[in-house]
Structures are given as structure tokens and as C-alpha cells.
Structure 1
């Protein structure tokens, strides 16, 4: 079974998602409708938009250079998550160190900054962790930013 899943994954990696996703989704909708209802579609939508926007912008030959990839990747991560921020900022810089630090530190802050945070917060619900979460995230964001500039 593992070999079949790996082979299917390798095959699907070379086929555009808009061709195979409807078929896979349709099979799940018919064979496992409860699984489709349990999917967190908000998180899936955010990731999809966050990855599609940079892939749409890329072919437009809009390739400006940014002066401070650290600042831009931290700020963008707060809005679209750190993975799409990486995809968006990568063609705009050659400063891989600042980009790496920026998307790492950018994973702290808002719940959207890292989709893992968003998933965990949605799973917890309203169990009184939001204040602790905010304090920890903001502290890590500030400490990460200070650490970056201390290492520069």
C-alpha cells in the first residue's frame, strides 16, 4: 500500500492539480462523505490562495528587488503565512540569510503567520488560551527580530 501511495504521489506531482484534484475529491465525496465534512476548508483555502497568488504573480515578469527581505518576509508572513511569504519573496532577493531569518521569525505573531498556529488554535477552540498564545507569539516575534539584528 505504501508503494502504491508513493507511486501515485510521484505521478500526481507531474500532473496539474486542476486535473487530478476534482477526481480525488469526487471519490472521497462518494466513498467517504464524512471525511469531506471534517476537512478544515478555511485552512485549505488560505493555503491555496497563499500559494496561488505568488504563482500567478511570477509569470507576470513583475520581479522587483527588495532592500530588506527580513522585514518584508516578517510582514508578509503576518498576513499570508510564512510559506506563501517565502514563495513570494524568494524571486525578489538574493539575500538567503535574511529571507530565512524573516520567514522563521515571521511564523510568530498573528495566528495566520504560521498555518500550524491557526490549525492548533482552531482545534483548541475557546479554551482560554488566546491570551497566553498572544503573549508567547508576540514575545517570540520581538525576540526573534532582536536576535536577527544582533546577528547581523
Structure 2
């Protein structure tokens, strides 16, 4: 039975008290945790030191990084979460399920673009028709001469 792989994103904060080598090792441990549960990492961002908007576990700084990965079985996510919870170097983490961009979204965007193009074409056509209804333009000098002729005849 062929199952579809679900895409996920794991964002994490590592405690700022670690040396760079320990931060790198913690990142590798997270990567091993994902791959050991059948995950395939598609993108990885190396952790970098950031200032937190508010203290987390009495820390105002942390190393922030994230992974994009996919898994076949959703049950593996709970196992990965359990491993992250017991890891003392992780201040906080978040695992998000990523929605695939469906073909219907693409089709809707194409349809909206086509409708906008039709609307523009209709507006141009309406402008042309309005210009034709105005009739031919008359030169002001010719009009003044005709008015003077009519006035002289009176």
C-alpha cells in the first residue's frame, strides 16, 4: 500500500548557554530523531542566535533553527515530540503540518487572472464605443464661421 508523505516544519529554540559545537550537535540530534522515524529532511536552517520577544524558561536569547521534512506515518510525529520534550537543550519547539498547494488553488488563480483580462478588454471596448457615439469632432474655427454667417443672415 503506497501512502502519501505529509510535509511538516519543525521550528525550535536551543538554550543560549551552549557552545557552538554543542548547538551543532543538538541540531544533528534533532535531524537524527526525524530520520530515525522515517522522515526525510527537505530543508534545514542552521541555528543562529536571536533575541526573544519575551523570556522563555528565564532566557531572553536562544539559538533558532528549523527543518522542513516529510513523514509517511503521522504516528511518528508524537514520538518525535516526546523526544524533543525530554531534550534539555531545547527551550521550545513547534511542529507544523504544511498544506500542499493544491491544483485547485492554481486553477483559481488562473481563472481570476483570465477574468481580470476579460474585464480590461470590456472596459477598452466600452471606451471605444463611447468615443464613437460622440460623433465627429468639429473644428472651432469652422463652427464660429458658420455661426457668424447665420447671425449675418438675420
| Greater share of strand | 2
User: Shorter-chain TM-score: what band?
Assistant: under 0.3
TM-score (ref. length: structure 1) = 0.22
| Structure whose CA Rg is larger | 2
Larger relative contact order (CA 8 Å, sep ≥ 6): 2
Instruction: Calculate the TM-score normalised by the size of structure 2.
Output: 0.22
